[in-house]
Structure 1
Amino acid sequence: MTKGILINYDYCTGCHSCEVACKKELGLPKGEFGIKLTETGPYEYSEKEGSSPKERWEWTWLPVVTKACDMCAERTESGKMPMCVQHCQAWCMYYGEAEDLVKKMDGGSRWALFTR
């Protein structure tokens, strides 16, 4: 079965904990990442009737798994979570069988599924 990392990026706060944990675990040099946090925005969109002015802007953070990621093979083979998932402070990252992770996707949030 295929393993994967599922990220609900509606809840990612952009804290970079996943990046730091991954770099340390993999021993990656400066400028290389196993997971890289990307930011999109700010984007302005039409106000909904009755919304506050701050709701007109959106920033989105998305941790993106790179080619350097091996999903912490050594850790996961011993039953542990990948370091990025373990250290996610927003609890918006999940690890497991891709088939099971797809079932978590509720259609009400924005999700990204990365597999190897």
Structure 2
Amino acid sequence: MKGILINYDYCTGCHSCEVACKKHLDLPKGEFGIKLSETGPYAYEGKPKGPDKWEWTWLPVVTKACDLCADRVEKGKMPMCVQHCQAWCMHYGEVEDLVKQIDGTTRFALFAPKQ
């Protein structure tokens, strides 16, 4: 089974995955194959000043419109969202192989859409 692994500690919220997917699937306004979800900023009162005081996260979420770019993958190409990720925080492949990349040092999300 194929899937997409996202290291969301490194997602910058650029929306390039959304735009590339939407254009490739020719989706109408308001529909997405992958949708960027944004949370934050949240302040942690017990933390000192600096980068650990705040959390602001973006997480690309695969929707039911996603088919993992089956037409592209058949030609040996990556899904559009993975190819256009500006932060290179998205990976495509066999779920078993993607799980091995999760090292416990950052936060990951693994998506395996229904096929």
Q: TM-score range by the shorter chain?
A: over 0.9
Match of 2:105 among 84, 101, 108: 108
- Counterpart residue identity of residue 22, structure 1: C
Residues of 2 paired with 1:94 and 1:76: CA distance?
13
Q: Normalised by the size of structure 2, how large is the TM-score?
A: 0.93
Q: How far off is 1:62 after superposition? A: 0.2
Q: Which residue of 1 aligns with 2:5?
A: 6
- Runs of at least 4 residues off by over 6 Å: none
* Larger deviation, residues 52-61 vs 12-21: 52-61
> CA offsets, 1:69-97, max 9 Å, x none?
00000001111000000000000000000
Alignment-derived partner of residue 63 in structure 1: 60
How far is the alpha carbon of 1:43 from its aligned partner?
Answer: 1.0
Percent of aligned pairs sharing the same letter: 77
TM-score by length of 1: 0.93
Cα distance change of structure 1 residues 54 and 90 upon mapping to structure 2, 3 Å threshold: same
2:37 is paired with a residue whose SS is strand
Q: Which ranges in structure 1 are unaligned for 5 or more consecutive residues?
A: none
Q: State the alpha-carbon separation in 2 of the partners of residues 29 and 102 from structure 1.
A: 33
User: 2:51, 2:79 → 1: CA distance?
Assistant: 35
Q: Report the count of equivalent residues.
A: 113
Amino acid paired to 1:31: G
Shift of 1:52: 3.0
Alignment of 1:92 onto 2:96: no
DSSP 3-state at the match of 2:4: strand
